[in-house]
Protein backbone atom coordinates (compact mmCIF):
# COMPACT_ATOMS: atom_id res chain seq x y z
CA UNK A 1 0.00 0.00 0.00
CA UNK A 2 1.32 3.39 -1.00
CA UNK A 3 0.86 6.63 0.77
CA UNK A 4 -0.35 9.49 -1.37
CA UNK A 5 -0.59 13.11 -0.70
CA UNK A 6 -4.09 14.44 -0.27
CA UNK A 7 -4.19 17.58 -2.35
CA UNK A 8 -6.64 20.38 -2.01
CA UNK A 9 -7.97 20.85 -5.62
CA UNK A 10 -7.86 24.60 -5.30
CA UNK A 11 -4.08 24.47 -4.82
CA UNK A 12 -3.36 22.92 -8.29
CA UNK A 13 -0.82 24.57 -10.51
CA UNK A 14 -0.45 24.04 -14.25
CA UNK A 15 2.17 24.68 -16.90
CA UNK A 16 1.84 24.49 -20.65
CA UNK A 17 4.25 22.26 -22.51
CA UNK A 18 5.11 23.01 -26.15
CA UNK A 19 6.98 20.41 -28.17
CA UNK A 20 8.49 21.12 -31.59
CA UNK A 21 9.56 18.21 -33.79
CA UNK A 22 12.74 18.92 -35.74
CA UNK A 23 13.52 17.41 -39.12
CA UNK A 24 16.38 14.94 -39.26
CA UNK A 25 17.97 13.37 -42.31
CA UNK A 26 15.99 10.14 -42.21
CA UNK A 27 15.02 9.99 -45.90
CA UNK A 28 17.35 9.10 -48.75
CA UNK A 29 17.15 10.82 -52.11
CA UNK A 30 15.18 8.89 -54.71
CA UNK A 31 15.41 9.18 -58.47
CA UNK A 32 11.94 9.78 -59.91
CA UNK A 33 13.03 8.04 -63.13
CA UNK A 34 15.18 4.94 -63.21
CA UNK A 35 16.33 5.39 -66.82
CA UNK A 36 17.57 8.45 -68.70
CA UNK A 37 18.21 8.41 -72.41
CA UNK A 38 20.02 11.08 -74.41
CA UNK A 39 21.22 11.38 -77.97
CA UNK A 40 24.27 13.53 -78.66
CA UNK A 41 25.63 14.48 -82.06
CA UNK A 42 29.26 13.47 -82.36
CA UNK A 43 30.37 16.96 -83.41
CA UNK A 44 28.98 18.25 -80.09
CA UNK A 45 30.19 15.31 -78.00
CA UNK A 46 33.37 17.02 -76.83
CA UNK A 47 34.82 17.47 -73.35
CA UNK A 48 32.69 19.96 -71.42
CA UNK A 49 29.48 19.38 -73.39
CA UNK A 50 26.57 19.44 -70.94
CA UNK A 51 24.39 16.35 -71.22
CA UNK A 52 21.92 17.32 -68.50
CA UNK A 53 21.45 19.01 -65.17
CA UNK A 54 17.95 17.62 -64.85
CA UNK A 55 18.14 14.48 -62.77
CA UNK A 56 14.84 14.35 -60.95
CA UNK A 57 15.68 13.50 -57.38
CA UNK A 58 13.24 13.70 -54.53
CA UNK A 59 14.02 13.73 -50.85
CA UNK A 60 11.16 13.80 -48.38
CA UNK A 61 13.18 15.63 -45.76
CA UNK A 62 12.26 19.26 -45.32
CA UNK A 63 15.26 21.12 -43.97
CA UNK A 64 17.69 22.15 -46.73
CA UNK A 65 20.63 20.61 -44.89
CA UNK A 66 18.80 17.25 -45.01
CA UNK A 67 18.23 17.56 -48.75
CA UNK A 68 21.81 17.97 -49.91
CA UNK A 69 22.72 15.40 -52.49
CA UNK A 70 26.04 13.99 -53.57
CA UNK A 71 26.19 12.61 -57.09
CA UNK A 72 28.69 10.14 -58.48
CA UNK A 73 29.06 7.89 -61.51
CA UNK A 74 29.89 4.22 -61.73
CA UNK A 75 30.41 1.71 -64.51
CA UNK A 76 32.87 1.13 -67.34
CA UNK A 77 31.50 3.89 -69.59
CA UNK A 78 31.36 6.45 -66.80
CA UNK A 79 34.98 7.41 -67.59
CA UNK A 80 33.72 9.22 -70.70
CA UNK A 81 31.56 11.48 -68.54
CA UNK A 82 31.83 13.54 -65.39
CA UNK A 83 29.27 14.72 -62.89
CA UNK A 84 29.35 17.63 -60.50
CA UNK A 85 28.92 16.04 -57.06
CA UNK A 86 26.65 18.74 -55.67
CA UNK A 87 24.65 19.98 -58.68
CA UNK A 88 24.37 16.74 -60.66
CA UNK A 89 25.51 18.49 -63.84
CA UNK A 90 26.51 15.71 -66.23
CA UNK A 91 29.15 16.53 -68.85
CA UNK A 92 30.99 14.71 -71.58
CA UNK A 93 34.57 14.07 -70.52
CA UNK A 94 36.08 12.84 -73.79
CA UNK A 95 35.64 13.17 -77.55
CA UNK A 96 33.04 10.60 -78.52
CA UNK A 97 33.90 9.64 -82.06
CA UNK A 98 31.19 7.82 -83.99
CA UNK A 99 33.78 6.31 -86.36
CA UNK A 100 35.36 4.46 -83.45
CA UNK A 101 32.23 2.33 -83.57
CA UNK A 102 31.31 2.80 -79.98
CA UNK A 103 27.86 4.36 -80.11
CA UNK A 104 26.22 3.42 -76.86
CA UNK A 105 27.41 4.39 -73.42
CA UNK A 106 25.77 3.12 -70.29
CA UNK A 107 26.59 3.80 -66.67
CA UNK A 108 24.96 4.41 -63.33
CA UNK A 109 24.39 7.66 -61.48
CA UNK A 110 24.38 7.46 -57.72
CA UNK A 111 22.86 10.02 -55.45
CA UNK A 112 23.20 9.92 -51.70
Q: Between residues 101 and 112, which has the closer beta carbon with respect to Ca ion?
A: 112
Question: According to the binding rule CB under 5 A, does residue 78 interact with Ca ion?
Answer: no
* Candidate ranges 8-16, 17-25, 46-54, 100-108; the one touching Ca ion (CB under 5 A): 17-25
For position 23 contacting Ca ion by CB under 5 A, the verdict is yes
Q: Note whether 64 binds Ca ion by CB under 5 A.
A: no
Q: Is 77 in the site for Ca ion (CB under 5 A)?
A: no
Name the nearest CA neighbour of 94 among 43, 50, 46, 44.
46
Q: Which residues have C-beta within 8 Å of that of residue 91, sequence separation ≥ 6?
A: 47, 48, 49, 50, 51, 81, 82, 83, 84
DSSP three-state, residue 78: helix
Residues that bind Ca ion (CB under 5 A): 23, 25-27, 59, 61, 66
Amino acid sequence: MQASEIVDPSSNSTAVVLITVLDTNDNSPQFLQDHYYYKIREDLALPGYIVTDQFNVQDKDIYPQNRRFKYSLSGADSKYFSIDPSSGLLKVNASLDYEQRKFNFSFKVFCK
